[in-house]
Amino acid sequence: MRGVRGVRWRRVASQIGRSIAVWAVSTLTMLVLAALLPDFRLQSADGDSVTRIAVTAACGAGAFGVLSAVVWPLLVRLLLLVPALVLGLLVFFLNGSLLLLALRVNPSGRGEAAPETAVVVAAVMSAVASATGAALAVRDDETYRRRLHRLAARRRRSDPPCPTTPGLLLVQLDGVGHDVLKAAVRKGVMPTVAGWLEPGDGIRPTGDDVPRPTHRLTPWRTDWSSQTGASQLGILHGSTFDVPAFRWYEKDRGEVMVCNRPTSAAELQRRAMRHTGDGGLLTVDGASRGNLFSGGAGEQALVLSIAARRRGRENRSRAGYFAYFSDPANAVRTALSFVAEVVREIGQSTRARLRGQRPRVSRGGLYPLVRAFATVVERDVVLAAVMGDMLAGRTAVYADLVAYDEVAHHSGPCGRDAEQVLRRLDRALALLQRVAEHAPRPYRIVVLSDHGQSPGETFRSRYGLTLGDLVRAGCGLHVPRRAEGTHSGAEARAAVRAALRRPVEEKGEQQRPVRRSEPIVLASGNLGLVSFPDVPHRMTKEEIDARHPALLTTLANHPGIGFLLVRSAEHDGVVLGAHGAEIPLAGLDDQPGPLARFGPGAADAVRRTHSFPHTADIMVNSAYDPADGEVLAFEEQIGSHGGLGGAQSHPFLLSPLELSAPVDGVKELTGAEQVHQVLRRWLGELDGPQVPLTADTGTDGTGTDDTDTDDSGTDGTEDERAA
């Protein structure tokens, strides 16, 4: 008993010592700021002694610390309905208000600061206090362990004890391709992942001092629509049916579907659940964090498919914001990191412009703020929520970290900017690995991606016109003046006049307006979709030729286009290529034609998309160069995904060796639906003996429909250990 009391007293003394140390550093920081900032003073107008000024600083620092600990969580809870980006910017001003209040209640009555100066002082003091506390905690592993267990104690008290069987943590590194991950490991960019992998195969060095591997790396292949909407819907809900692209037009509803639009995401999730008859991968004690879809999880934060619904008990998509921003140190650190990321993006884009880097796209406007939100705010909030889930012992957690995908779109998938993001993602994985060691149950950590990214300049930068301009020109419609003068635009107009047997266009002659409804042209990376909204059904090749005789020829023969998919009255479906290539879908295996350069599986992917009810009248895939892996994006992106061609179709699955192999070594893991089946199988294995089972990607381990809807809280402060 005496020994237990001694340990308890030592813990109390250690905690008091750390608090005094943080207080002392905060006091010193306040004194330094008072000396540097003219609008911030800690003495009366007549002057005070050094002792009096020090006491004033100590009282002010103490009052600010108490207010931050007591008042800040209440302020964040009141501001939960404020958009997350706005809340991140308000952090500075709210913290400055707390400092002004601390100076006002200071017993000495000496402190005074201008409002704008108070914002700066509060931010610096919070950052210094956070750094000091983190440094002391890092030096005390026992303190770190106790903090994790204290957070774990917040889990649902009414539930039975946490199961001893392992849980499954699924971390999606959005947009990181299989080859990009391997290259990052070889270059030492991702040491945590390197420590998990088997040596050899050119990924890790071999030798006696190399740690024993814990994970295996498996590539898989996406469907034609190589983008998050299709892949994540398939992974979480087991169906990618009728998702032909990231955005497409549905004639029966007269609506453009966009995967990252809340209403569209909710509709896609409903369709997938209706198609499979199942709630999703996470229906049993699951949590969905930062995803487009819920996966049937009872715990959801930053999930797009529920963002359009009225807020209620079952709709807590922003609960993760409170869990993270309720700690003022977290809030200030994230806000400072947000500003630093904005500055970093401006510097990187300026350097690329001054160096004349090619390819390059515009990175101005709001993009620096969008990038900072994706790479800082969303990362921090998602990690905090995942840590809370692990410490609460949840059975299955799926989280999406979107930072790499956002940066690679604008900076390129293999550049230095993207590598810096991969380093930070690796540190995030290291943090989650450490947290797993203190969770109330063991966890199997699976890291996967939903697609890769293919490099290449944009279609517009190479040819001077967009896909929409080319389609309009091929239809004989008016095109913007900038596109009329291009070689592609002139060829399209000439093809139209030849198809209609019109004489050569004289200089200055104006095209006649066409009264028919104009086509809708949408882009999803290097995949384009052309729909004619006034025709209620999917048009056939014969109907398109009768209406616009030069359109299909213009598109198929353009050097920036790889192939077209259209419906055919004669052959059901055909692939069109340059020089009159026209191959029925049934004959693609024997004669791939323009699909040959897109590699194995391209024909199956095209045939499957052709079977979807909402496939566009004309599906357009850009050209692809196998020599350098480049495609031509129909959007303004130099790293793109969404169609066929290159690394975008080859994501990865990094799984623990305790789980059965995803495939048996002969089969290829193809499509997100098969990945879903693998994850189902692994969840079933975790419920039973931990013996690897024989791989069978066709197994359907459908779970039960028990759904937990209780919250678990975490302040997420341990994220500082990965910074």
- The verdict on 464 and 435 lying in the same domain is no
Q: Answer with the one of 602, 637, 672 that is the final residue of a domain.
A: 637
Side chain identity, residue 554: T
Is residue 238 located within the same domain as residue 360?
yes
Q: Strand, coil or helix: what is 603?
A: helix
Beta bridge partners, 447, equal 171, 654
Say if 155 falls within a structural domain: no
Q: Is the CB of residue 321 less than 8 Å from the CB of residue 381?
A: yes
Looking up residue 676, the CATH number of its domain turns out to be 3.40.720
**Domain ends where: 101, 121, 139?**
139
Query: Is residue 367 one of the residues assigned to a domain?
Result: yes
pLDDT at 37: 76
Residues 452 and 506 in one domain: no
Cα 69–chain centre separation = 32
* Residue 644 is assigned to a structural domain of this protein: no
* Structure-block tokens of residue 290: 């930062």
User: 3-state class of 616 per DSSP?
Assistant: coil
Per-residue confidence (pLDDT) for residue 519, from 0 to 100: 95
Last residue of a domain, one of 637, 665, 686: 637
Residue 451 sits in the same domain as residue 469 = no
Q: Which domain holds residue 589?
A: 459-637
Q: Do 410 and 334 belong together in one domain?
A: yes
CA-CA distances (angstroms) from residue 253 to 34, 46, 235, 670? 64, 75, 26, 31
Q: Are residues 279 and 232 in the same domain?
A: yes
* Nearest in space to 397 (alpha carbons), one of 183, 48, 714, 49: 714
Same-domain check for residues 415 and 499: no
First to last CA, the chain: 40
Residue 200 maps to a domain: yes
pTM beyond cutoff 0.95: no
Integer Cα distance of 623 and 176 in angstroms:
22
Consecutive 10-residue averages of pLDDT for the chain (723 residues): 50 68 77 76 64 77 73 63 55 70 68 74 72 53 48 51 90 97 95 85 54 90 97 98 97 95 95 95 94 93 78 51 66 79 91 85 88 90 88 94 95 92 94 90 97 96 93 86 55 49 42 63 97 96 95 95 96 94 93 94 96 97 96 96 97 96 82 96 79 38 35 35 31
CA–CA dist 567, 542 (Å, integer): 9
- Tell me 598's DSSP state: G
426 & 469 share domain: no
Residues 272 and 237: their CA atoms lie apart, in Å, by: 6
Number of structural domains, the chain? 3
Residues 240 and 171 grouped into a single domain: yes
Domain assignment present for residue 547? The answer is: yes
In a domain, 645, yes or no: no
- Nearest residue to 113 via CA among 163, 197, 57, 155: 57
Do residues 199 and 654 make contact, with C-beta atoms less than 8 angstroms apart?
A: no
Is 277 a member of any domain?
A: yes
551 shares its domain with 432: no
The pLDDT score that the predictor gives to residue 723 is 30
Write down the number of H helices and E strands in the chain.
23, 21
Q: Are the C-beta atoms of residues 678 and 444 closer than 8 Å to each other?
A: no
Residue pair 122/95 in contact by the 8 Å Cβ criterion: yes
Q: Work out the angle between the directed axes of helices 50-78 and 328-354 (0-180°, nearest 10).
A: 90
- Give strand ranges (E) for 20-153: 40-41, 112-113
Give domain status of residue 581, yes or no.
yes
Q: Are residues 507 and 379 in the same domain?
A: no
What does the alpha-carbon distance between residue 612 and residue 241 come to, in Å, rounded to a whole number?
A: 7
Same domain, 664 and 552: no
